[in-house]
Structure 1
Amino acid sequence: MQPQPMYDLHPADGDRPVTVDRREGPYGEVVLRRRGGGPSGQAVFEIIANGCFLMDTSDGRSERLLIRTALDALPADRPSPALLIGGLGVGFSLVEAAAEPRWGRIAVVEREAAVIDWHLDGPLAAVSAGALADPRTEILHTDLVEWLRTGPETYDALCLDIDNGPDWTVTEGNDGLYSPTGLAACAARLAPGGVLAVWSAQPSPAFERSLRNAGFTRVRTEEVTVARGVPDVVHLAVRGA
């Protein structure tokens, strides 16, 4: 039997982050940190991969937009569309999907065992427990790039959020996802008329061109204003019939 991880759940000291859990895996270091949680306010959890901030539980609007815009781009009469979410993260995208009865099968690909653990029996269970219990939900512990290349399933929507965007990847191996070969793999996993939605921390006109060059249609970008800096965005594209 594997030992259960020990999480540091002591309140953070003001805005100073506290490391709740730290793991070394095949892709490098992944860390769960917490800010707040004492008398001053609600705790915010952050995921850091190889020193790169990925996401936290402070907002989640753009992660939810990733799911909503993909569904809105599908034909309204498509019954029980199948959804693949690339990256479990802090769980906002999965929670948004599970709250929508129109979705059929909901598969979530996550390569980091630590992230899955944090949701199954760790601090992030407070976010995602209900969505994980949904009978439509399946967690796939595998690498997204490899799954898109070799997986047997097709989906009506791919909602991908594994990097800070096409121009800011977490690991070098993720670069291939946004290349012509990677976009061809995405198209192959989509049913005709299916939707590809990609989260990014900043707009990428170059990625929009790559989507068009890969044969996707109805390419557009949805923005979510953030408190400081450039907006978060969702790049959307549709596979031809």
Structure 2
Amino acid sequence: MIPWQLLDTATMPGGGELRLKRRGAEFSIMSGQIELMNSRLSSSEEALATKSCNRLGDRARPHMLIGGLGMGFTLRTALTGLGPDARVTVAELVPAVVAWARGPMAEIFGTSLTDPRVSIRETDVGDLIRSGAAAYDAILLDVDNGPEGLSRDANNELYGMGGLRAARTALRPGGILAVWSSAPAPAFTQRLREAGFSVDEIRVRANGTGGGARHVIWMAASPGAPALPRRPSRAP
């Protein structure tokens, strides 16, 4: 078996370290002994984007905020599901992750980082959420392994009542807050409802039809006019 090769390390703001590893064509990003993402397991992150795009329906000029660049699975899928008038802002706290996307993992990212609809912000997604009222049609969070600050303690603020209320304020009427998790968290489902969202909790496989662990996606709709379902495309 091909051994893992350590390509780079990065210090997290507030402490902690990320490690980028490669084994042949496979990449892994680790935090301590926990694998945050692997280039061979992308289905649930792709589902996060697909289900969010479907919930947005035919909104004109939708603006999507993605928290966490990672290996770009969510971003690339969102760009496929959104139209040419959409905007996608990606908040990535660790500059090295952006550098990895443009360097050793450039082949995985393809043209997604240069897509004219995309803006990469090297900042805390929480700061962007708190800075805008009715600024986004969808907010997608994939910055931890679940609704707790695994990668850094400060991320706990995103999933508490204060963070959820800030997200609701940042969303336009009927907008979507979508959160990825490696495991269920009933207390988080309850907090979403207490913050004023209507909630669907969806189980998805890590490796799509190939199986793998069951991950969780919360699709939480803010109050207001519901998003229209996407019209099916018609053959020419």
Q: TM (normalized to structure 2)?
A: 0.86
Match of 1:187 among 140, 160, 168: 168
Aligned to 2:223: 240
Instruction: Compare relative contact order (CA 8 Å, sep 6+) and give the higher one, 1 or 2.
Output: 2
State how far apart, in whole Å, the 1-side matches of 2:12 and 2:217 are.
29
Aligned to 1:17: 4
2:114 pairs with 1:126 = no
Aligned to 2:50: 68
The gaps in structure 2 that reach 5 residues or longer are: 225-236
State how far apart, in whole Å, the 2-side matches of 1:59 and 1:53 are.
11
Q: CA deviation at 1:118?
A: 0.6
State how far apart, in whole Å, the 2-side matches of 1:146 and 1:137 are.
18
Q: Tell me, what secondary structure is at the counterpart of 1:83?
A: strand
Q: Percent identity?
A: 39
User: Structure 1 residue runs of 4+, over 6 Å off?
Assistant: none
Aligned to 1:78: 59
2:181 pairs with 1:200 = yes
Q: CA deviation at 1:24?
A: 2.6
Give deviations 1:26-57, integer Å, cap 9, x for gaps: 3431110112x1xxxxx210111344321110
Q: Tell me, what secondary structure is at the counterpart of 2:111?
A: helix
The one-letter amino acid of 1:67's match is: A
Farther off after superposition, 107-116 or 153-162: 153-162
CA contact (8 A) 2:139 2:176 kept: yes
Distance 1:25 1:237, change over 3 A: closer
State how far apart, in whole Å, the 2-side matches of 1:153 and 1:190 are.
5
State how far apart, in whole Å, the 2-side matches of 1:201 and 1:25 are.
21
Distance 1:92 1:215, change over 3 A: same
CA contact (8 A) 1:158 1:195 kept: yes
Aligned-CA RMSD value: 1.8
CA contact (8 A) 1:109 1:143 kept: yes
Distance 1:115 1:151, change over 3 A: farther
State how far apart, in whole Å, the 2-side matches of 1:131 and 1:228 are.
27
Q: CA deviation at 1:23?
A: 2.3
Aligned to 2:234: none
Aligned to 2:227: none
Aligned to 1:4: none
2:21 pairs with 1:33 = yes
CA contact (8 A) 2:146 2:182 kept: yes
2:52 pairs with 1:48 = no
Q: Tell me, what secondary structure is at the counterpart of 2:184?
A: coil
The gaps in structure 1 that reach 5 residues or longer are: 1-13, 38-42
State how far apart, in whole Å, the 1-side matches of 2:200 and 2:82 are.
26
Distance 1:165 1:213, change over 3 A: same
Q: CA deviation at 1:169?
A: 2.1
Q: TM (normalized to structure 1)?
A: 0.85
Trace 1:90-109 onto structure 2 (pairs within 5 A): 90-102=71-83, 104-109=86-91
Farther off after superposition, 152-161 or 77-86: 152-161
State how far apart, in whole Å, the 2-side matches of 1:106 and 1:85 are.
7
Match of 1:57 among 34, 39, 55: 39
The one-letter amino acid of 2:47's match is: L
Aligned to 2:232: none
CA contact (8 A) 1:119 1:129 kept: no
Q: Tell me, what secondary structure is at the counterpart of 2:191?
A: helix
